[in-house]
Amino acid sequence: MAGSKLIVQASVFTAISCIAILLSISLSGYSLLSLLARSSLHLHVRQWEALMKVTYVSWITQSIGGVINRFSQDVMIIDTQLANAFINTAMQLRTLDLEAKAPLCAHFLQSASGLASIKAFGWSENYREKNIQLLRNSQVPYYLLGSVQNWLALVLNLVVAGLATAVVSIAFNLKDLDAGYLGLALTGIMDIGFHFEILIQSWTSLETSLGAVARMNHFVNELPQEAEGQIAPSTSWPERGEINIQNLTASYSIDSAASSVLKDISLYIKAGEKVAICGRTGSGKSSIISAIFGLLRTTSGTITVDDLDATSVRATALRAGIMLLTQDPYFVNGSIRHNLLLHRASGVADDTIVSALERTGLSVKLGLHMGESSVSDILDKPLVPEDMLTKGEMQLFAITRAILSTSKILILDEPTSGLDAASDQIVQRVLWEHCTAGNRTMICIAHKSRSIIDYNTVVVVNEGRIVEKGNPSELARTEGSLFGQLLSQSS
Give the tens place of pLDDT for each residue, 370-402: 665 788 888 889 998 888 888 888 888 988 999
Could you read off the pLDDT of 174-212 as tens digits, one per residue?
A: 777 777 777 777 777 777 777 777 777 677 666 666 777
d(CA 368, CA 383): 14
Residue 84 has pLDDT above 50, yes or no: no
pTM of the model: 0.69
pLDDT for residue 82: 40
pLDDT at 406 over 80: yes
Query: What is the average pLDDT across 289-310?
Result: 91
CB 472 within 8 A of CB 455: yes
- The pLDDT, as a whole number, for residue 181 is 73
Q: Exposure string (b/e) for 236-262, b if CB count within 10 Å is 16 or more? A: ebbebbbbebeebbbbbbeeeeeebbb
Instruction: Provide the mean pLDDT of the chain.
Output: 82
Residue 459 has pLDDT above 90, yes or no: yes
Mean pLDDT over 54-66 rounds to: 73
Higher pLDDT among residues 277 and 422, named by residue: 277
Residue 86 has pLDDT above 50, yes or no: no
Using 50, 70 and 90 to split pLDDT, how confident is the model at 457?
A: very high
Determine the pLDDT at residue 461: 93
The answer for residues whose C-beta is within 8 angstroms of residue 62's C-beta and 6 or more apart is 54
pLDDT of residue 372: 56
Q: How far apart are CA 363 and CA 400, in angstroms?
A: 11
Half-sphere exposure of 489 (CA within 13 A, CB side): 12
Nearest-angstrom CA–CA distance, 219 and 105: 18
Residues 243-490, CATH architecture: 3-Layer(aba) Sandwich (3.40)
Write the DSSP string, 360-403.
TT-TTTTTTTS-SS-HHHHHTSBP-HHHH--HHHHHHHHHHHHH
**Separation of alpha carbons 359 and 434, rounded Å:** 11
**Band (32; pLDDT cuts 50, 70, 90):** low
The larger pLDDT score, comparing residue 177 to residue 122, is at 122
Q: What is the DSSP letter of 431?
A: H
DSSP element (H, E) containing 251: strand 243-251
Average pLDDT over residues 471-489: 85
- Could you tell me which residues come within 8 angstroms of residue 348 by beta carbon, excluding any fewer than 6 positions away? 341, 404
pLDDT at 346 over 70: no
Domain 53-222 = CATH 1.20.1560.10: yes
Hey, where are the domains in the chain?
A: 1-45, 53-222, 243-490
Can you give the C-alpha Rg of the chain in angstroms? 34
Mean pLDDT in residue range 136-157: 80
User: How far apart (Å, rounded) are the C-alpha atoms in residues 377 and 242?
Assistant: 39
Question: For residue 468, what pLDDT is reported?
Answer: 92
Say what the pLDDT of residue 309 is.
92
